[in-house]
Amino acid sequence: MNQHFDLVIIGGGCAGLSLAYQLSQFGENCPKTLIIEEREVYTNDRTWCFWDVKEPIHRDLAPFKWNTFSIKNNHKDFEYSCNETPYLMLPSDIFYKNTLSAINSNKKIQLLTGEKLVDKVTKRDAWHIPTSKYEVELDGAPFVEDKLVLMDFDSNFKEGLAFIYCLPTSNSRALIEYTVFSEDLFTADQLTDRLLEKIGIYTQNKSYTIIRQEKGILPMGNNHIEQIDDPTYLFAGLFAGAARPSSGYAFQRIQTWSKDCAVELKNNHQLMKFKKDSWMQTWMDFLFITVIKKNPIIGAKIFVELFKNCDVRTVADFMSDHSSFWQKLKIIASLPALTFLSAIPELIRSKRRLGGSIDA
């Protein structure tokens, strides 16, 4: 290939395609862009969920939505309404189809699949969320379609905070996921037995078919990465700080960045880094992580208390990076004060260890 490009995107995954999609919306004013992607074909390889807060980008693509959810702990079931901020689910094949169609219809963008470029390895201090998900389809009908289980804590798992996440998409179909917040790295395969045991409970031990499987390890914690000292080169996506430190949620953060970066490229011919979170959100996230690291089992209690003492809108806004100062104070007031206060010295020690990299 002997062509000139204004922009080369290495990796046409969520971040790469999102940026190219935003650029494609500029029509003729789109910079000449090449995307180099290792995979040959795009499949339904992951599922993105987010709260319907402040018109999330690609909201209209999400075919599934829930207005109620539950949190389960120690055989107690707490149910909440999220009518004001429904929980949305977007399967990746729909996202890929939509973004690829927009990208392919702009002649200024070229996608090269099945090509790998040698990538740079970055040193990180991150905590991980290994997660193992199965989408199961059943012969019977044990799922209640509008009953989303956001967190069903597994008190038998002692090496971290573990929970089941069950997203029923019909009466006979659901995406069921086993997630662990832990400092130790578990492979998704190590979690499969626990997931299968839980699926047995959710399916009332009826026979079922596994339609699809998702696995992943997400970085949590310090999500700062040293960018190369070159304004024409930028790390983006999950490994450049896209994931929210306390939850691993990244999809909407990637969308916001790609929209802003596309405008910056069009107007000023410059790349744009991920925006830093506010200092207050950063400290709250790291305090939360410190508490869970010290005592993973307490994590379940914290989530139960949070939803019990705080309205869902405030929690959804906070999780979606849209909370006001007063909403953040409400979150703080709803959490067990002593637990969090006792974690502050450890947080300060880890801040020193990280050389202040959790500063906002």
Ligand X SMILES: Cc1cc2nc3c(=O)[nH]c(=O)nc-3n(C[C@H](O)[C@H](O)[C@H](O)COP(=O)(O)OP(=O)(O)OC[C@H]3O[C@@H](n4cnc5c(N)ncnc54)[C@H](O)[C@@H]3O)c2cc1C
Positions that interact with ligand X (CB under 6 A): 10-16, 36-39, 46-50, 116-117, 119, 214, 216, 218, 237-238, 242, 249-251, 254
Could you tell me the smallest distance in angstroms from the CB atom of residue 283 to ligand X?
A: 22
Could you tell me the smallest distance in angstroms from the CB atom of residue 235 to ligand X?
A: 10
Could you tell me the smallest distance in angstroms from the CB atom of residue 281 to ligand X?
A: 16
19-32 burial, b if ≥16 CB within 10 A, otherwise e? bbbbbbeeeeebee
Could you tell me the smallest distance in angstroms from the CB atom of residue 341 to ligand X?
A: 30
Nearest to 241 by CA among 253, 252, 230: 253
Nearest to 125 by CA among 183, 181, 186, 179: 183
DSSP states along 188-208: HHHHHHHHHHHHHHHTTT--E
Residue nearest to ligand X (CB): 13
Q: Tell me the one-letter amino acid at 179.
A: T
71-95 burial, b if ≥16 CB within 10 A, otherwise e? bbbeeeeeebebeebbbbbbbbebb
Q: Tell me the one-letter amino acid at 309.
A: N
Could you tell me the smallest distance in angstroms from the CB atom of residue 225 to ligand X?
A: 12
Could you tell me the smallest distance in angstroms from the CB atom of residue 133 to ligand X?
A: 6
Collect all residues with Cβ–Cβ distance below 8 Å to 82 and sequence separation of at least 6.
51, 66, 67, 68, 69, 312, 316
Nearest to 161 by CA among 188, 184, 138, 135: 184
Residue nearer to ligand X on the CB measure, 117 or 348: 117
Residue nearer to ligand X on the CB measure, 35 or 302: 35
Helix, strand, coil shares, percent, the chain, to 5: 35, 25, 40
Residue nearer to ligand X on the CB measure, 168 or 237: 237
161-170 and 173-181 strand pairing: antiparallel
Residue nearer to ligand X on the CB measure, 122 or 155: 122
Residue nearer to ligand X on the CB measure, 116 or 206: 116
Could you tell me the smallest distance in angstroms from the CB atom of residue 37 to ligand X?
A: 5
Q: Tell me the one-letter amino acid at 194.
A: R
Q: Which two tokens stand for residue 251?
A: 């999809």
Residue nearer to ligand X on the CB measure, 48 or 143: 48
Could you tell me the smallest distance in angstroms from the CB atom of residue 205 to ligand X?
A: 26
Residue nearer to ligand X on the CB measure, 37 or 277: 37
Residue nearer to ligand X on the CB measure, 124 or 301: 124
